[in-house]
Amino acid sequence: MKEKILVIGSNGMLGQRFVEHVNNLEKYKLITASFEEKSFFDFAEYYTIDISNEIDVKKLIKQTAPNYIVNTAAYTNVDKSEIEKEAAKGINVLGVKFIAEAAKEIGAHFIHISTDYVFNGNDGPYSEDDLTDPVGYYGLTKLNGEKEIQTILDNYSILRTNVLYGPAKFGRPDFVKWVYTSLKENKQIKIVTDQINNPTYIDDLVSAIYLCITKKVYGIYHIGGKEFFNRYEFTKKIADFFALDKGLIIPIKTDELNQTAKRPLKSGLITKKAETDFGYIPTDMTETFELMKKELSM
């Protein structure tokens, strides 16, 4: 009998890619769940779920009895989190708690996606051992979700990531596609020069999730790209690769955007632990652009 993987948030950018990856393997039985009424896929069992609803979450997990639960669902609007605090907490903290409690009841391995926003961004890049200190409510909810998992479970994998990009067929465009489309249409774009990260190619994160499952890896791990640079430098690399007009990229500082929530500025995630423990290998950035060009006809 095939082992079962339940993917929560399967209609999201990461969820889509992970579902496609696992489906291509034909090694597992896929069960998918997301907030939307309908799935983007017709090849997997699908359930509509609001993970802030404890009864529905526990009913779904008990009914489907997966061996692995991959949670890619999250309330990710950083600015709205400062205003819609109950909604952010309901999904990022309580929803995660409900999944963890249900996972414990059936003995499932819980793989959860978190963020570099659990750090303050004063002195990154960060390792798993560095002190967490979120500067906004979104980061606080993601950190508290991590803590719920650690309190409830032993067999968990928490993967923190940052600036996720890559091909997704449905939903809003990722950062690279947005930059490409904007410059292709000769639109000026304002990009910050003071936010530093190591952007994560989506299929690298998919690979890390899958390695956690196949190698039974537990604990907190950082997943990111090979290179660290600010968002403005990243944008120029995109423009260079696709031969677009860099003159349309306007450098600005984060505080000029007058955003509701503070952002961690000097961030990024050190991936050495993941590389050592389960063989995580980030893809070269130029190759990721080549892959996107091929898949999205950019």
Which residues are annotated as catalytic? Answer: 138
Contact yes or no for 12/72 (Cβ under 8 A)? yes
202 vs 29, 106, 161, 229, 288, CA distance in Å?
Answer: 22, 29, 10, 18, 9
Amino acid code (one letter) for 204: D
Q: Which long-range contacts (CB under 8 A, 24 or more apart) does 131-137 make?
A: 134/264, 135/262, 135/263, 135/264, 136/78, 136/81, 136/82, 136/261, 136/262, 136/263, 137/81, 137/82, 137/85, 137/88, 137/261
The H or E element that residue 107 is part of is: none
**Cα–Cα distance between 159 and 114 in angstroms, integer?**
6
**Cα–Cα distance between 165 and 68 in angstroms, integer?**
25
